[in-house]
Amino acid sequence: MKAFMVEKYGDAAGMRAAEIPDPQVGADDVLVKIHAAGVNPLDMKIRNGDLKAIVPYRLPLVLGNDLAGTVVRVGSSVDRFAVGDEVYARPDKDRIGTFAELLAVHQDDLAPKPATLTMTEAASLPLVALTAWQALIERAHVQPGQKVFIHAGAGGLGSIAVQLAKALGAYVATTASTAKVDLVKELGADEVIDYRTQDFTEILHGYDVVLDSLGGENLAKSLRVLKPGGQAISVVGPPDPATARELGSNPVLRLAVTALSAKTRRQAKRLGVTYAFLFMKASGAQLRELTPLIDAGKIRPIVDRVFPFDETLQAMEYAEKGRPKAGKVVVSMT
């Protein structure tokens, strides 16, 4: 099969198209013929080697973290899927590789594709939808009437998180450029901060939850808009000790990770709030819980541009340089 592989950590020069053997299918695996794959910032972080300390991969590696496709074979112990089923998934972190024609996915990580979505739309969702779910529901336990601040509401993660927070009954604030204000309001944002002309710390106060996808100074400033007892959850900020433990890091790495996030955690403690890093995990069960919201139109994918499979490297370059107007970039195999 054809696949796009990382041969060495670094920039785009370390990737190439290659012909590789078809995946082996274990007893609990489902072999999926991939119709479309989403492009995520995580792909570039893995390619560049930014995560190799906490998630070491053996190179060469097929890249890609989102898929939608059709089941073409099932393992002997698979009891939830059959040949011909339309499915979508974010594979487990140890079994990524959706920039390929086929992928074997554990049945626990797979879910039926929402009936109302095309393959392209479905492929844009798993990673960002699971991230939003795990941040807002698993970690923050968002309740109706709470105030949630989501950075970059027109982005791949932000556009889904805004819709999910609104579906949970929260009051939602977000940031966007002037050109995207109307879009994020359509998605459900109650308050939109134009980050080019406004400082969100001067406008927002007393928030229960912040979901940060920008890191750096934005994360530090975000702690100040929380009320006492509020939570800041970041998908790009410094990993915390709990993340190192979850990923099974060795004691030396745990100490290093603790040091990386020490400043942010100290700042949060002084303000009477908490900080947590989220490294999302695969979950077919959570994708199935999202399906009713998707089919009811409460969560809709935003796809900026679709590239043919042969142009996967160009799709990554387009996404990496910040060219998308809103939502996700997707690669289509058909």
Alpha-carbon radius of gyration of the chain? 19
pLDDT tens digits for range 268-308: 999 999 999 999 999 999 999 999 999 999 999 999 999 99
Residue 209 makes CB contacts below 8 A (sequence gap 6+) with 136, 140, 142, 146, 147, 148, 149, 170, 226, 230, 231, 232, 233
> Do 106 and 135 fall within a single domain?
no
Identity of residue 284:
G
- The pLDDT score that the predictor gives to residue 51 is 84
For residue range 126-141, list pLDDT tens digits in order: 999 999 999 999 999 9
Query: Has residue 117 got a pLDDT over 90?
Result: yes
Residues 173 and 135 in one domain: yes
The reported pLDDT for the residue numbered 240 is 78
The model's pLDDT over 89-114, given as tens digits with 9 standing for 90+, comes to 999 999 999 999 999 999 999 999 99
Q: What is the pLDDT of residue 245?
A: 72
Q: Percentage of the chain surpassing pLDDT 70?
A: 98
Average pLDDT for 6-31? 96
Question: Mean pLDDT in the chain?
Answer: 94
Q: What is the pLDDT of residues 48-73, one digit of tens each?
A: 998 887 788 999 999 999 999 999 99
Are 43 and 28 contained in the same domain? yes
315 band by pLDDT with thresholds 50, 70 and 90? very high
141 shares a domain with 55: no
The rounded distance, in Å, linking the Cα atoms of 95 and 130 is 17
* Same domain flag for 68 and 188: no
Q: Which H or E element spans position 307?
A: strand 303-308
Number of structural domains in the chain: 2
Structure confidence at residue 250 (pLDDT): 67
* CATH code at position 236: 3.40.50.720
Identify whether 286 is part of a domain: no
Shared domain for 265 and 139, answered yes or no, is: yes
Range of the domain at 16: 2-124+301-332
Cβ-contact 109, 91 below 8 angstroms? yes
Same domain, yes or no: 155 and 168: yes
Mean pLDDT of 313-326: 90
> Cβ contacts of residue 328 below 8 Å, gap of 6+?
38, 39, 40, 124, 128, 156, 301, 302, 303, 304
pLDDT of 248 over the 90 cut: no
Q: What is the CATH classification number for the domain harbouring 96?
A: 3.90.180.10
pLDDT given for residue 249 in this prediction? 62
CA gap 27, 76 in Å, rounded: 5
Neighbours of 199 (CB within 10 A): 10
Residue 192: pLDDT band (50, 70, 90) is very high
